């Protein structure tokens, strides 16, 4: 089984902590195999200061990077393809992946059914893989934004997870 990657990235400008010049930053969130990973790279062309931060599987993506990715790419939603999917099974997967108690998992399930549970495409695709592995039909989709001309529905494919 090969590594499957789903990557979203964003470029943005920031101020160099050393010299105060404007510098380019690149942030990435990726689904690699069955893990979410993130990284941020900074490089100042004036003073040559550089920094690379990363968070391998399990570490939380920095809020600023997550907000930038959502602003750049839009939210992806988790959709249960089978409206009669077992609530207990879905909540079991949600608790295993997102933590929290039974009441929180029930609240998230209600958000999913209302079309209100969203995140980055890598985050939602990982949940889709986990749900499918448990026998629940699900997909991640990104509603089309007004400024996009092509269809943005991106179903997660089953790669043997």
- Kindly report, residue by residue over 70-110, the tens digit of the pLDDT: 999 999 999 999 878 899 999 999 999 999 999 999 999 99
Entry pTM: 0.81
Closest Cα to residue 17, out of 9, 7, 25? 25
Q: Which of 98, 152, 120, 157 is nearest to 37 (CA)?
A: 120
At 109, list the tokens.
């399930």
CB distance 100 to 106 below 8 Å: no
Summarize pLDDT for 112-145 with one digit per residue, the tens. Answer: 999 999 999 999 999 999 999 999 999 999 987 6
Segment 24-71, tens digit of pLDDT: 999 999 998 888 999 999 989 899 889 899 887 656 899 999 999 999
Give the contacts of 73 (CB within 8 A, at least 6 positions apart): 8, 10, 120, 121, 142
Q: pLDDT exceeding 90 applies to what percent of the chain?
A: 65
Q: What's the pLDDT at 161?
A: 30
Helices (H), the chain: 63-73, 87-98, 102-113, 121-133
Distances 110 to 10, 104, 117, 124 between C-alpha atoms, Å: 31, 10, 9, 16
């Amino acid at each position: 089984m090969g590594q499957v990657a789903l990557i979203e990235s964003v470029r943005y400008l920031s101020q160099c902590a050393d010299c105060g010049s404007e510098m380019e930053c690149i942030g990435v969130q990726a689904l690699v195999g069955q893990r979410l990973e993130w990284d941020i790279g900074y490089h100042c062309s004036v003073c040559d200061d550089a920094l690379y931060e990363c968070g391998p599987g399990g570490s939380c993506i920095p809020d600023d990077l997550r907000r930038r990715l959502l602003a750049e790419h839009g939210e992806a939603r988790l959709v249960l393809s089978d409206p009669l999917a077992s609530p207990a099974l879905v909540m079991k997967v949600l608790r295993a992946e997102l933590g929290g108690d039974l009441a929180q998992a029930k609240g998230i399930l209600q958000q999913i059914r209302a079309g209100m549970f969203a995140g980055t495409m890598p985050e939602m695709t990982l949940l889709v893989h986990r749900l499918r592995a448990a026998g629940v039909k699900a997909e991640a989709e990104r509603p089309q934004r007004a400024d996009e001309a092509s269809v943005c529905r991106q179903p997660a494919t089953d790669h043997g997870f």
